[in-house]
Copies of this chain bind each other. A is one copy, B any other.
Amino acid sequence: MENPVKVLLYEDNRDLREGIAFLLQATPGLVLAGAFPHVNNLKSELHAYMPDVVLLDINMPGMSGLEALPIIKSLYPKTQVIMQTVFDDDERIFQAVRSGAGGYLLKNTPPAEIIQAVFDVYRGGSPMTSSVARKVLQYFQQPPKSHPADHLLSGRENDILKGLMKGYSYKLIADELNISIDTVRTHIRNVYDKLQVNSKTEAILKAMKEGWIDEKA
């Protein structure tokens, strides 16, 4: 193998930190660049050690791992970051993933797999605890959500709403559906009632939040 993989470790729990640090040091092909209990000197440490991989705990005193992640990725985009946490709540996971996390391991991950994960992420993989992976996958599988509108709005009302979501004016919608503008008004009125909103904008925002980004009709 080529150069050893330089790893930087952030973990506030002393025992854990020293344990992992020992493992990293003891593994051929890996080099422990540093191990710290907080990310308050993140920038200078990054600059000093130029790590290939950062193992980043999320819950730390001071700046959290979630805040540190985007900083790392903006300064050194090629550096791979593996998040570690005891929690697998959706919010954290998605924030981490959006910010460019290269891996996401729960704290119960056995040490051997952590080591494996470091190599994985370095080679371009994304090691993930399977429960975390499930949450990510579920995000894609959402589509099977039943169109709330299907049972709430009538067919025509749906047509009108789609028109709104395409940014059309009443007149344009009327033209497209070959009905009068007053009819469009009526339908929109009913849509607003059912969606409990009272403006085009609110209706669109609600429709999007509710799930239908509307698959290009």
Contact in complex: A125, B130 (CB < 8 Å):
yes
Cα distance A114–B169 when bound, in Å? 51
Q: Which of B102, B144, B204 contacts A204 (CB 8 A)?
A: B204
Residue of B nearest to A137 (CB): B126
A202 within 8 A of B: yes
A108-134 at interface with B (beta carbon < 8 Å): 117, 120-121, 124-131, 133-134
A181-209 at interface with B (beta carbon < 8 Å): 199-202, 204-205, 208
Interface residues on A, range: 35 or more
Contact in complex: B201, A164 (CB < 8 Å):
yes
User: Other than the known A98-B141, A125-B134, A127-B133, what 20 A-B pairs have Cβ atoms closer than 8 Å?
Assistant: A73-B144, A97-B141, A98-B143, A100-B144, A117-B130, A120-B130, A124-B131, A125-B129, A125-B133, A126-B130, A126-B137, A133-B136, A136-B137, A136-B140, A164-B201, A165-B205, A167-B199, A169-B199, A200-B200, A200-B201
- Chain A residues close to B by CB (< 8 Å): 73, 94, 97-98, 100-103, 117, 120-121, 124-131, 133-134, 136-137, 139-141, 143-144, 164-167, 169, 199-202, 204-205, 208
